[in-house]
């Protein structure tokens, strides 16, 4: 394995570009939290590492485009996954002036999220920075570090709400873009119950905003 190049450090992990078997790969290494009891910290870190790998594998089993899992190194708390080249959806939208293609991509995102939620996978950190437009022009979801398996309409609604807030804070014309995501998402009775729950989540969010 080649030398690693740090490309991002978040609250939970450091992300590197590396090379495995002559191909670029991503190494995501979770680090310990000094404020937690060592045994508990190790258990939580291992649990999140395994959950992320399981979520990625579960997505691929159901035809959702995500990076392939190459290896899980429990000793170093590192997840090695396929490197997906291409701009993030955030970068693409900010540079785009093609409304027809924007609408097509937003509809694709809605379909992807509907499929993901129908198999009870909750991403946990949906933003346009955690979506990549690959070389085939397809949307790839990344960064499942906060993911979980959940049958709860509330959890799925919160997933959508997090994405909506990301659109509002990042993109001009966000209402139009996110409306297309929801139109594409709304294709079953279960989806409609999730969207109804989304309204409740929005109301709670507005109350928090007003109360400071």
- Average pLDDT of the residues in 143-161: 96
Are 55 and 102 contained in the same domain? no
- Average pLDDT of the residues in 110-133: 97
- Average pLDDT of the residues in 76-105: 95
Question: Which residues are catalytically annotated?
Answer: 125
Are 110 and 59 contained in the same domain? no
CB 60 within 8 A of CB 82: no
Side by side, which strands form the sheet with 5-9? 5-9, 13-20, 23-30, 78-82, 69-73
Sign of CA dihedral 197, 10, 141, 123: negative
Are 139 and 207 contained in the same domain? yes
Are 183 and 130 contained in the same domain? yes
pLDDT tens digits for range 115-126: 999 999 999 999
Which run of H or E residues covers position 15?
A: strand 13-20
- The C-alpha atoms of residue 81 and residue 126 are separated, in whole angstroms, by 19
Domain boundary among 56, 82, 108: 82
User: Model-level pTM?
Assistant: 0.90
Q: What is the CATH number of the domain that holds 97?
A: 1.10.510.10
Sign of CA dihedral 141, 142, 143, 147: positive
- The C-alpha atoms of residue 133 and residue 91 are separated, in whole angstroms, by 10
- The C-alpha atoms of residue 84 and residue 135 are separated, in whole angstroms, by 9
Question: What pLDDT band is residue 8 in, cutting at 50, 70 and 90?
Answer: confident
pLDDT tens digits for range 66-84: 999 999 999 999 999 999 9
Are 115 and 194 contained in the same domain? yes
Domain containing 37 equals: 5-82
- The C-alpha atoms of residue 84 and residue 91 are separated, in whole angstroms, by 15
**What are the residues facing 18 on neighbouring strands?**
25
pLDDT of residue 209: 67
Structure tokens, 160:
């959508």
pLDDT of residue 123: 98
Domain boundary among 82, 108, 141: 82
Domain count, the chain: 2
Are 206 and 101 contained in the same domain? yes
- The C-alpha atoms of residue 206 and residue 191 are separated, in whole angstroms, by 23
Are 76 and 105 contained in the same domain? no
Q: Assess whether pLDDT exceeds 90 at residue 113.
A: yes
Are 116 and 72 contained in the same domain? no
Structure tokens, 204:
């709670």
Are 28 and 115 contained in the same domain? no
Q: What is the CATH number of the domain that holds 71?
A: 3.30.200.20
Q: Calculate the average pLDDT of the chain.
A: 91
Are 20 and 51 contained in the same domain? yes
Q: Assess whether pLDDT exceeds 90 at residue 183.
A: yes
Are 182 and 134 contained in the same domain? yes
Least confident of 31-40, 104-113, 183-192: 31-40
Percent of all residues in the chain with a pLDDT value above 90, rounded to a whole number: 75
Rg (the chain; Cα; Å): 18
Domain boundary among 28, 52, 82: 82
- Average pLDDT of the residues in 26-38: 79
- The C-alpha atoms of residue 56 and residue 48 are separated, in whole angstroms, by 12
pLDDT of residue 7: 87
Are 178 and 199 contained in the same domain? yes
């Amino acid at each position: 394995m080649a030398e690693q190049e740090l490309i991002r450090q978040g609250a939970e992990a450091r992300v590197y570009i590396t090379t495995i078997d002559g191909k670029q790969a991503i190494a995501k290494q979770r680090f310990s939290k000094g404020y937690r009891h060592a045994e508990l910290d190790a258990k939580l870190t291992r649990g999140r590492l395994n959950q992320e790998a399981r979520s990625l594998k579960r997505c691929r089993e159901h035809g959702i485009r995500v990076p392939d899992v190459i290896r899980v190194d429990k000793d170093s708390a590192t997840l090695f996954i396929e490197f997906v080249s291409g701009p993030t959806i955030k970068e693409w939208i900010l540079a785009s002036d093609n409304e027809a293609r924007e609408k097509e991509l937003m509809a694709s995102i809605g379909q992807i999220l509907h499929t993901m939620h129908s198999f009870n996978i909750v991403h946990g950190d949906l933003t346009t920075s955690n979506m990549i437009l690959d070389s085939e022009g397809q949307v790839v979801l990344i960064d499942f570090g906060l993911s979980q398996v959940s049958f709860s309409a509330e959890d799925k609604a919160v997933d959508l709400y997090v994405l909506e807030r990301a659109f509002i804070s990042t993109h001009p014309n966000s209402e139009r873009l996110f409306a297309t995501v929801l139109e594409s998402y709304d294709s079953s009775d279960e989806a409609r119950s999730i969207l109804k729950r989304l309204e409740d989540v929005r109301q709670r969010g507005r109350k928090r905003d007003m109360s400071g």
